[in-house]
Amino acid sequence: MSTKTQPATRTLNLVQAVNEALDLALEQDPRVLVFGEDVGRMGGVFRATDNLQAKHGEHRVFDTPLAESGIVGFGIGLALAGLRPVAEIQFAGFLYPALDQILSHLGRMRHRTRGRYSIPMVIRAPYGGGVHTPEQHADSPEAILAHVPGVKVVIPSSPERAKGLLLAAIEDPDPVFFLEAIKLYRSVKAEVPQGYYTLPLGKARVVREGQDASLFCYGGMVEVCLKAAEVAAREGVALEVVDLETLVPLDTQTIVESVAKTGRAVVVYEAMRTQGFGAEVAARLAEEAVDYLEAPVVRVAGWDAPYPPFSAVEHHYRPDARRVLEAVRHVLTY
């Protein structure tokens, strides 16, 4: 962690940490612009941009029409003009109209111009379920985004990580998708350093050490895996929990080192199981850590169906500690 100011901390939830990061970025870099649907006077649907327009002005924090393709395309143009756009998409499930801009332009510009231009743009979006949202408000499209060459994909799991990673994403010279778990916005609080600091992109971190099996997860699933690890510990099983944090570029070294220690792996994510990002983690383990594995890699994920828009069945879709523990017992008894 690189810290530029005072080390003191204060307690924030994740959405407050995001707001503080945006405030600091706007304050320190006049090239930073924040825009999206309702981010101005309203302060965003989750209030992540609350009071930023009043503090920094309508020319730097402003609303856009309800047109996701236009938001991303507008940001690409701003970045090419030398600015640092930070766009908010109200929900990650609304990104699909912008896929043409994302696939055809956002990630290709550095390659297309032989390195003469890049797109230093951040696209923030809440993702995932757990709060009973309607249809398309709980989608987890990280695997789609991770498949786009030329972009980074970052998913924080705590307020402290969200602030430092978002500031690093805004400093990054290339486009970054910054996905924020809806379930964590106000359900978790933590001590967050005051002032401006960044955390390195492209690094996974071990949030709980163990010797019996590794749980690989990110975003809202870190909380679920930590709960499973607590239950397992009472049964005498020591689970290692690894927060991937950045999906692109993926920190394969930390993943392999964890499995070299435990010999068993469970990958947990809340997107649909088939061809979800967990398949990439399992493939990396097959390629680079098969000699360490004592059991097949198991995935715990959402089901191969659209996320249920009915709150009564949401808990059947989103992975929980019970399902993680079932997978752990499978790899331990293989």
Q: Which residues participate in catalysis according to the annotation?
A: 137
The two three-digit tokens of residue 37, written as one number: 């649907």
Structure letter (DSSP) for residue 55: H
Q: Write out the DSSP string of 240-295.
A: EEEE--EEETT-HHHHHHHHHHHS-EEEEEEEESTTSHHHHHHHHHHHHSTTT-SS
Structure letter (DSSP) for residue 308: P
Sign of CA dihedral 91, 137, 132, 155: negative
Q: In what order do the strands lie in the sheet with 176-181?
A: 61-63, 32-36, 84-88, 122-127, 176-181, 152-154, 246-248
